[in-house]
Structure 1
Amino acid sequence: MGVTRRSFLKASGLGYLALEAGSAVAWAGSTISTNDRIRVGVIGCRNKGYNVLREILRTGRAVCLGMCDVDDEVLQRRAAELKKDTGQSPKLYVDFRKMLENPEIDAVIVGSPDHWHCLHAVYAMEAGKDVYVEKPLANSIHECNLIAAAAARYGRVVQVGQQQRSGDVWNGLMDYLKSGALGGLRRVNCWANFAYGAGAPKVPDSAVPEGVDFRLWLGPAPDRTFNASRFHGNWRHFWDYGGGLMTDWGVHLLDMALWAKEVTHEPTKVTGFGMNLSGLDRARETYDTQSVLYQMDDFLIQWQQNGGIERGPYGKSYGVEYVCDKGTVVADREDWTLYVEGKEGETEQAYAFKRRSGRSDMELHANNFIDCVLSRDKPNCSVGLGRNVALYAHFGNLLARTASGSLEWNASRQQFLSNAAANSLIVPEYHRGWKLPVV
């Protein structure tokens, strides 16, 4: 079976402790010994964190030792689901720091709100754990830098949850674009139109739900009253916790634009605007309507979003359009279509490609993470790639938040040129005793 967890841990000097005999793992029907499985913990169980855990366990090469969430109802419900599906009964935690003290845990899934990503990921790496962290990498430029620095300092494997990097549709498309068959790539247009992007309906403040440690949920963010429109799922529309559609979908689709030309450098010059123009009775700080243009060395990238609606170009609510000399390719997670430019007087021809292996992007991404935990290779969406595209998305939001119109970036100084307002938002302010990590 190649490199096993046991041989990897021996080689890395981490050591291991055997689980109780007879531990049950139902998913995937694995015949791999429990002692040879990667032992994982998850922080944030309500949605993405649990979904990633499920895919990782389905590889048959991992077992769950810890689940952590500040909402007891979520924690108990997910623990019951896990017990039913796999027979596993991991230890349950409210405070993630307690879970990270467990030396038996090899890797941690960070599925918490964006404002927690930095602390959860860095503390996990300090504790000797590899990390699968949901996108965007972090909620600010400086926090992205800290996670990347921690990965380098502690030598940990970090997979960022931009699962399209592992998807067969996107990998097939990138091979085709880079073959040169369509000539030069001139422009990439990305868009995301989703109803939830307009924010949740406004509701009055209310008491903190029973079983929720709201103070711990707030973490380093400022004190604020409890409001359901800023809590489960809805938090991403408020700057203290997330960045709206720009960072939620922007990192996925802008990543596909950068990948087409293997761009790994930070943004240099960005122009754009953001406004709230629909659903004004909605609870939000982020923008429902936004356009951003990135000036690259030899092509352009354009981002557009419209929260509150679901229709977009080519009948797709989201997608990426690659405009080349000899044709245009339009892609989403299900397929991609080539539109070949016709000669004068001719119509264009369309060819659709559905390169589905029967395995979802998430399944392939989870398997790649486990592969890399064992081999110590760089994962498909490394911390460097995740950091870079997160900066592209954050720049779009900073444009709108500061009404700057345009921003120029000095990568060596990690500052914007002649823009004090944007520079003031690079490093977040932490509250209630939480401190930015020192790496």
Structure 2
Amino acid sequence: MTDFHPNRRTFIQGAGTVLTLSALQANGLTFADTRNNMRVGLIGAGWYGKSDVFRLIQVSDIHVVAVCDVDSNRLAEAGRLISERQVSRKVPALYGDYRKMLADHKLDLVLIGTPDHWHARQAIDAMTSGAHLYLQKPVSIDVLEGEAILSTARKYNKKVQVGTQRRSTPHLIDAKEQVIDKGLLGKISHVEMCCYYHMRKNGNPPLAPVPDFLDYEMWTGPAPLRPYDGLPHGSWWRTFMEYGNGITGDMCVHMFDTVRWLLQLKWPRRISATGGIYVQKGGKSNIADTQTAIFEYDELNCIWQHRTWGTPADPEYPWAFIIYGDKGTLKGSTMKYEFIPTGKGDHIVKDVVYEKEEYPADLNEPRIELNAAPATRRHMLNLLSAIENDHLPVADIEEGHISTASCILANLSMQLNRPLIYDPQQKICVNDPEATKLLRRPYRKSWQHPYIG
């Protein structure tokens, strides 16, 4: 097999005009040889878990020493594929229980790519074992899980990079530098965000025996135990609120996080939402097929809208954000950005960067999101720099928590049919004891919720 994983310096040289060494350093990325000894573990070896670890291997000579997954078939496949890509060519130790993996290995970095209901418990256990984290979004399934992750990261000085990699997306970095930071939009007082993908699974499969290769009890963990009706992989689990927070928790978290980063926003002062299952009423899915949420700031509303049916408002921007200023409009997505001046001025358009020539192996990877691979590589480099140089990563856990919790609060607002004001200091919904109780979901017996307060 061709050795296609360039080291850090090859990455810099091959990036050419895409990202120069000086640009990397300007973004807090410095390079040392100490990471060559970094011991890495992966929890959740499905599609995106493997994709994340492959991007990491492409930009650093780390050692993936252990992998965990509750599906023994996926676990074996992940071990083989990782061994083919990493420098040592060693097959990682394979585990069905992440707790044993953490106990057996002194890991420097753990990547977590499990379903949302597992993120908090695994993140906290990994950090208390001594590891830094690459944690997929959303960081938690309830608000107080996120508070517990943030508290643990700060207590143990662990760097946590959240997989909201729009902050490391080349064309969106360019939009920030060339449009936002230069003030081309003028006064910004309205933002729209959307997702119109038909991504809501809505089947009605029959109950079935749990296959021998899947530990369904461990897959479920702290979540409610649904009757088994087929493999939860392939996003079937995302159609149930038992394991996630619907389309808002999955897709809004990306766009809202991007907008907050671009505009330097923190917690919304108030959140409201309406929606429900309006169209796709058949099947087992219990997540909303239609939702509108408003994240309020001073003289600025950020509005989210999703439909898993019908057509997009703008076919060129089916999953996107639009920032309106009095001097112009900025449209952005994972594929491009576009600045449209209100009057005279340059109409600016910049497309996604792919890096196909620098990383030809990307073209042969099943299910890879080619448009996201360059951003994930930069995200990994930024995390490694944060670990080496003791600075916060670009998608630090506090930022990931704000974006995640805001989306969860939007769902709670929709459920309660009233606006919510969250106080992150007191960790309550102001003047709303009923909503405050919903900030923490109950865990299944034998599993302990990580928030103590």
Structure 1 length normalisation: TM-score?
0.87
Q: Does 1:370 align with 2:367?
A: no
Question: Number of residues paired by the alignment?
Answer: 409
Give the partner amino acid of 1:377.
H
Q: 1:70 to 1:245 in 2, by over 3 A?
A: same
Residue 178 (structure 1) shift: 2.5
Q: 1:74 to 1:272 in 2, by over 3 A?
A: same
5 Å-filtered alignment, 1:304-343, equals 304-309=305-310, 311-313=312-314, 315-342=316-343
Q: Report the Cα distance in structure 2 between the residues aligned to 1:75 and 1:230, rounded to whole angstroms.
A: 15
Residue 322 (structure 1) shift: 0.7
Q: Report the Cα distance in structure 2 between the residues aligned to 1:371 and 1:52, rounded to whole angstroms.
A: 17
Q: 1:67 to 1:372 in 2, by over 3 A?
A: same
For structure 2, list consecutive stretches of 5 or more residues without a partner in the other structure: 10-31, 356-372
- What is aligned with 1:131? 133
Q: Look up the SS of the partner of 1:254 in the other structure.
A: helix
- What is aligned with 1:28? 6
Q: Does 1:433 align with 2:434?
A: no
- What is aligned with 1:298? 299
Work out which of the residue numbers 152, 157, 165 in structure 2 matches 1:163: 165
Q: Report the Cα distance in structure 1 between the residues aligned to 2:382 and 2:54, rounded to whole angstroms.
A: 14
Q: Does 1:180 align with 2:183?
A: yes
Give the partner amino acid of 1:291.
T
Residue 80 (structure 1) shift: 2.0
* Residues 174-230 of structure 1: per-residue CA shift (max 9 Å, x gap): 22213212211111100011111x223111111112211111111111232112275
Q: Look up the SS of the partner of 1:64 in the other structure.
A: strand
Q: 1:205 to 1:421 in 2, by over 3 A?
A: farther
Work out which of the residue numbers 147, 150, 170 in structure 2 matches 1:148: 150
Q: 1:410 to 1:82 in 2, by over 3 A?
A: closer
Instruction: Answer whether contact 1:132 1:160 (CA < 8 A) is retained.
Output: yes
* Residues 142-186 of structure 1: per-residue CA shift (max 9 Å, x gap): 000000000011111110110111112111212221321221111
Q: Report the Cα distance in structure 2 between the residues aligned to 1:25 and 1:133, rounded to whole angstroms.
A: 28
Q: Look up the SS of the partner of 1:287 in the other structure.
A: coil
- What is aligned with 1:387? 401
Instruction: Answer whether contact 1:61 1:370 (CA < 8 A) is retained.
Output: no
5 Å-filtered alignment, 1:253-268, equals 253-264=255-266, 266-268=267-269
Residue 232 (structure 1) shift: 4.4
* Residues 80-137 of structure 1: per-residue CA shift (max 9 Å, x gap): 2223333230000000001111343211001111111011000001000001100001
Give the partner amino acid of 1:100.
L
Give the partner amino acid of 1:272.
A
Give the partner amino acid of 2:444.
H
Residue 292 (structure 1) shift: 0.7
Work out which of the residue numbers 349, 352, 362 in structure 2 matches 1:352: 349
Structure 2 length normalisation: TM-score?
0.85
Instruction: Answer whether contact 2:272 2:414 (CA < 8 A) is retained.
Output: no
Q: Look up the SS of the partner of 1:173 in the other structure.
A: helix
Q: Does 1:411 align with 2:424?
A: yes
- What is aligned with 1:286? 287
Q: 1:224 to 1:156 in 2, by over 3 A?
A: same
- What is aligned with 1:6? none
* Structure 1 stretch displaced more, 211-220 or 357-366: 357-366
- CA-atom RMSD in angstroms: 2.4
Q: 1:253 to 1:33 in 2, by over 3 A?
A: closer
Q: Report the Cα distance in structure 2 between the residues aligned to 1:315 and 1:146, rounded to whole angstroms.
A: 39
Q: Look up the SS of the partner of 1:190 in the other structure.
A: strand
* Structure 1 stretch displaced more, 405-414 or 136-145: 405-414
* Residues 265-286 of structure 1: per-residue CA shift (max 9 Å, x gap): x222122201112222232111
Q: 1:144 to 1:254 in 2, by over 3 A?
A: same
Instruction: Answer whether contact 1:202 1:229 (CA < 8 A) is retained.
Output: no
Give the partner amino acid of 1:410.
D
* Residues 42-70 of structure 1: per-residue CA shift (max 9 Å, x gap): 00001211111111111133110001000
Q: Does 1:204 align with 2:206?
A: yes
Give the partner amino acid of 1:411.
P
Q: Does 1:361 align with 2:366?
A: no
Residue 373 (structure 1) shift: 2.1
Q: 1:227 to 1:340 in 2, by over 3 A?
A: same
* Residues 280-320 of structure 1: per-residue CA shift (max 9 Å, x gap): 22321111100011220121100000114563425321111
Q: 1:287 to 1:315 in 2, by over 3 A?
A: same
Q: Does 1:80 align with 2:80?
A: yes
Instruction: Answer whether contact 2:273 2:294 (CA < 8 A) is retained.
Output: yes
Q: 1:335 to 1:437 in 2, by over 3 A?
A: same
- What is aligned with 2:274? 273
Give the partner amino acid of 1:193.
Y
Q: Report the Cα distance in structure 2 between the residues aligned to 1:319 and 1:438, rounded to whole angstroms.
A: 33
Give the partner amino acid of 1:122.
I
Residue 27 (structure 1) shift: 2.1
Q: 1:78 to 1:62 in 2, by over 3 A?
A: same
Give the partner amino acid of 1:354.
D
Q: 1:72 to 1:337 in 2, by over 3 A?
A: same
Q: Look up the SS of the partner of 2:321 in the other structure.
A: strand
Q: Look up the SS of the partner of 2:420 in the other structure.
A: strand
